[in-house]
Amino acid sequence: MTDSRVTVVPVVTPAAPVRPEEYDTATRAALEHIDGQAVRAVADGRPERTRKGYAQDWASWSKFCGATGGLVADMRVSKIRPRIVPVPYGSRPSICPVRAWTAWKEAAELTDPDDYAWRRLHSRWHTLMEGGLQPESIGDVITRAGERAGIEIRFTGHSPRRGLATSSRLKGHDQIVIAKQGGLAPHSKVLAGYLEVVDQWEDNALIGVL
């Protein structure tokens, strides 16, 4: 004869695990110590080149995001040599390069510091395209901007470089400081020619004589 009775085993619901925010101070301190040790162990195990690469990537990202006093531009391609150029906020928002860059970066949704800074726009739909602007195209943009502004002389891609030198000299800046900002050799004959346009009137031997 078979016993058909079924034994019922009571189900015990385990208590809910303690949430991290409910840990006591000693437990949290111990876990933080373990986490710190694990992070250091992983970092120490990386090759030196990898650690340097991470540091360079972070530095590039910081420059891309900007600095408190303005914008720090990482000029990786230059006529002279790669250099880091600090660009302060302009006194007039309408022509401030830092504000203009910030607005463009947000509008173009630029997130990669190693990607093109200036992107092409579709000629008809004005939508953002994948490719970057070529140097010749940037010169054309500057020329058209000068024409729209009604400036009589023809602006080219070289005009901002020369204009920086002459305008900076008008504000009394030293030649070495101007050369460093514009990526020119400190004693460049080309730079001296730019500055002479200003100096011939500001540092003229006849001032105070006539």
The distance in angstroms from the start CA to the end CA of the chain is 136
Find, among 105, 87, 89, 117, the residue nearest to 181 by Cα.
Answer: 87
**Residues lower than pLDDT 50 in the chain:** none
What would the two tokens of residue 169 be? 């000299």
**HSE-CB of 189 using CA atoms within 13 angstroms:** 0
- Give the model's pLDDT for residue 187: 86
β-pairing verdict for 119-121 and 128-132: antiparallel
pLDDT at 177: 92
Q: Can you name the residues that pair with 73 across neighbouring β-strands? A: 85
pLDDT of residue 8: 63
Tokens of 102: 């910030």
> What are the φ and ψ backbone dihedral angles of 24, each rounded to 5 degrees?
-80, 170
Q: Return the number of other C-beta atoms located less than 10 Å from residue 203's C-beta.
A: 11
142 vs 156: CA distance, rounded Å: 6
d(CA 50, CA 53): 5
Residue 15: what pLDDT? 62
Helix or strand holding residue 37 (H, E): helix 25-45
Using one digit for the tens of pLDDT, what is the confidence trace for 104-125? 988 888 888 778 888 888 778 7
Angle at 174 between CA 185 and CA 69, to 5 degrees: 95
| pTM value surpassing 0.85 | no
- The amino acid at 202: E
Residue 3, both tokens: 């016993």
Residue 178: predicted pLDDT: 92
Work out the angle at residue 159's Cα, subtended by the Cα atoms of residues 162 and 79, and round it to the nearest 5 degrees.
Answer: 70
Distance separating alpha carbons of residues 30 and 99, to the nearest angstrom: 46
